[in-house]
Amino acid sequence: MSELNKEEHQIINLNCRLAFDDDARVCAIILKGSMDTEPIISLQGIIKDKTIPFQYNYVVDLNGVTFIGSTGLGFLMTIVKIKRDFVFVSYPDETISKPFRLLGVNFLFRYYLNFDDLKKEPAISSAIIEFLQKEVGAAKEIKHHERWVKILTDYLTTEPLWEEIQSMDPYIHQAKYLDAIAMKSETKYACILYEFLNRIFNETTNIDKTDINEDTIELLAKELVSNAVIHGYDSIKDGIIEAEYKLDTEKLVINVIDYGKGFEQQPDKITDTLGLQLVKKIFDVVEFSEAPPRQIEGRILGKGTTVRLVKYTKSNP
């Protein structure tokens, strides 16, 4: 295993831990605090003095960063310019990623969600990865990443995670703030339905949540979207899946709608699959009917399906 040269610098309100693998020419940078102008200018000088003569690759962990301004972005741009082959950056949370997107520089970096992503890069030694695991902490490596992101990764193979997350931004906004959402007929959009359902259950305080937690909500979202995509649309991707909810003093009602083929059998004779058994365990009423007659932008294959889910309030068993 390579012997690393390690340094730590506390520059005003920014802590920086460095590790240099001189054999592999990889520099790991762990930043914690605010990437303000003054500390970043000092850090930039340190990095340049250490690495420019030898041309390193870089792994930059931003999990502990609370603010990044134009100078901080300029620092990252600098190491892109002086790199040997690559700059890996830990996938940042919304506070940090927003400036990346606004300035259009996000495509310059490679991103890692966890340490396993780094292990796929042969040029990064096990010594560097162990340094990052120890200093960042395996338990904290994805603390900033919401569960919907992890669900999204379940459906990705070769697609760049950063680009996929960006494409989900408008849908996530719907899921967090609206009473009705619409998404494409692809299984990866289970992450959007999860966010929508999770918000509903978190905001609804007068229902029994004995069987409701993040795990069951994830399974529920995946089951509902999968059924709509596979059975409704035959995996055609230009369909539309809608979800909406209403809450009153008596009940919570959630409708999940697709405009696919519709039922292959009578609604009252639908077989209780394992997924449907889960749905019935969570909700007091599960009903199937045709989709409402609406004008939509996506593909319509038939009469469609509405899954109506009802959870009674505690005051109305």
**Per-residue pLDDT tens digits for 4-35:** 999 999 898 788 999 999 999 999 999 988 88
Query: How high is the pLDDT of residue 220?
Result: 92
Query: How high is the pLDDT of residue 175?
Result: 95
Query: How high is the pLDDT of residue 99?
Result: 75
Q: What average pLDDT does this structure show over 203-215? A: 85
Q: Of all residues in the chain, what percent carry a pLDDT higher than 90?
A: 48
Query: How high is the pLDDT of residue 138?
Result: 38
Q: What average pLDDT does this structure show over 251-276? A: 75
Instruction: Name the DSSP class of 275.
Output: H
pLDDT tens figures, 167-195: 898 899 899 999 999 999 999 999 999 99
Using DSSP's 3-state secondary structure scheme, residue 93 falls into coil
Q: Specify the pTM.
A: 0.59
Instruction: Give Cβ neighbours of residue 185 (< 8 Å, ≥ 6 apart).
Output: 228, 229, 232, 233, 236, 237, 238, 239, 240, 241, 258, 260, 298, 299
Domains present along the chain, CATH in parentheses: 5-140 (3.30.750.24), 147-312 (3.30.565.10)
Nearest to 94, CA basis, from 131, 117, 68, 123? 68
Both tokens of 178, joined, read 């609206």
Query: How high is the pLDDT of residue 200?
Result: 95
